[in-house]
Amino acid sequence: MVNYVRLVYYLQSSKRRIKWNSKKLERYRTKKLREIVKHAYYNVPFYHELMNKCGINPSDVKSRSDLNKIPIITKTEIRENFNDMISTGVERKQLIRLSTSGSTGNPLILYVSNAEDEFRKAGHLRANIICGQKIRDRWATISGSGFYADTGLSFKLQEFLRFYFLHRIPVFLNVSQQLSFLKSLDPQVLEGYSSSLLLLAKEIKKLGLQGINPRIMFSGAELIDDFSRSFIEEVFDAPLYDHYATIEFERMAWQCPQKDEYHIDADSLIMQFVDKEGEEVASGEKGEVVCTSLFNYAMPLIRYSVGDIGVPSDHHCSCGIAFPMMKVLEGRKDSFLIFPDGRLVSPRSFTVAIRQFESYFDMDRFRIIQKTSDLIEVIVKLEPRVVDRESFKDRLASHMDYLLGLTESGVKIRVRLVDDISLDKSGKLMAVSSELKKS
């Protein structure tokens, strides 16, 4: 059951922190960092052993830079040491069980306390509120899981009072069913996976539908390019703010009304961007995202590799919020494509290229898969109106080859037309992926 009094307290506290200057923010997160490291050392067997093995004492971690003394951990290490990752003295049956999407075939199980779950909810709400969401807005999300799992008395009271009440629409419903739900609700706030919002926008445009008029929209869970963002905003006639979140940390970074770069939730986590050697990269350079939660005490995550590639920034947003920023999320570490000439290509390059194709709107859905080091397969579900399918295949292959320099890199491209393209296990479209095993 959600403790709404505590949730409101967390929400109000987080809204106050957004107004802090950089010095006050740094003092706060340094204090929180010391506390979580000390807690992990004395209460979490895994971290106690890890720090002892490296000759680290909690007193050695006095600031953010000292955090680098602790080794980076991965999902594999958490799975292999799962029981030792949970704080001693905590009853597991009293914790909330979370699971990552498992889109790679191997989901990760995590635990948070009720209070920590409410802290996460408050962080989610704060970002939305800053962009204009109001307490009694009709709010709908299209995703694989609900924001509030509680369905008891407190949940029904929240629904009655319309206190940030979220209507959940399963992502696994077909687009027509989703549109039917949305038309009956007519939400003022619409949230969902980036690909879900894009598919909805394309269907609305195709059918000329009316009656779904959100005031603001939020996307997340997948990469979104400028073309798709503009198209979604044009169809719904509302601004779209992109957010970066994971199951492990909830909301991590978000766009404010300036819609520039992404504000990192620096009061709840420390986000680092590191190279292959584990060294932090400079502003503007690509790096693997490594995070330390400042509020997870039931199952602390310190220097945890999320598996994403992002770009840090030293930009100061004109909105005045002092939180550090990141430029953009480049994609999952394991979704980058490797060409025979050694070139590492971001999945964003492929989605941008395909959106520039002259017959893009003849495509209902697409998926790009690197089958082997020298073969890229583009799987396309066409709109029924397309007659000359062979010509489409040739033109798309030539377009992708030209924009991405595939032939020059020793890569062949194969376009395959199919009757349907299903969502992955998490309900996302997963537009670009690789079947190569990476070291």
CATH class of the region 336-434? alpha beta
CA–CA separation, 204 and 154 (whole Å): 36
Residue 436 has a pLDDT of: 61
Name residue 176's amino acid: S
Do the domains at 4-332 and 336-434 have one common CATH topology?
no
Residues in contact with 427: Cβ distance below 8 Å, sequence separation at least 6, in sequence order: 101, 143, 144, 170, 171, 172, 193, 196
Looking at the domain that runs over 4-332, which CATH code has it been given? Answer: 3.40.50.12780
Please state the domain extents for the chain.
4-332, 336-434
- Beta strand pairing call for 363-372 and 432-434: parallel
Residues in contact with 140: Cβ distance below 8 Å, sequence separation at least 6, in sequence order: 166, 167, 168, 169, 181, 182, 185, 187, 189, 190, 191
For residue 32 the two structure tokens come to 């929180």
Write the secondary structure of 379-416 as one string of H (helix), E (strand) and C (coil). EEEECCCCCCHHHHHHHHHHHHHHHHCCCCCCCEEEEE
At residue 330, the 3 state secondary structure works out as strand
For tokens 């209902």, the residue is 364
Nearest alpha-carbon partner for 344 in 334, 352, 355: 334
Residue 334 has a pLDDT of: 52
Residue 150 has a pLDDT of: 47
At residue 164, the 3 state secondary structure works out as coil
Residue 20 has a pLDDT of: 93
Largest CA distance in the chain: 70
pLDDT above 50 for 235:
yes
pTM score, whole prediction: 0.75
Contact 315, 325 (CB under 8 A): yes
**pLDDT band with cut points at 50, 70 and 90 for residue 301:** very high
CA–CA separation, 94 and 115 (whole Å): 11
pLDDT above 60 for 182:
yes
pLDDT tens per residue across span 142-173: 876 544 444 455 555 555 556 677 888 876 67
pLDDT above 90 for 34:
yes
DSSP per residue, 255-278: --TT-SSEEE-TTTEEEEEE-TTS
Nearest alpha-carbon partner for 87 in 46, 44, 54, 49: 44
Q: Mean pLDDT over all residues of the chain?
A: 83
Residue 341 has a pLDDT of: 75
Residue 343 has a pLDDT of: 67
Which of 68-72, 168-172, 313-317, 387-391 shows the lowest mean pLDDT across its residues? 168-172
**pLDDT band with cut points at 50, 70 and 90 for residue 104:** very low
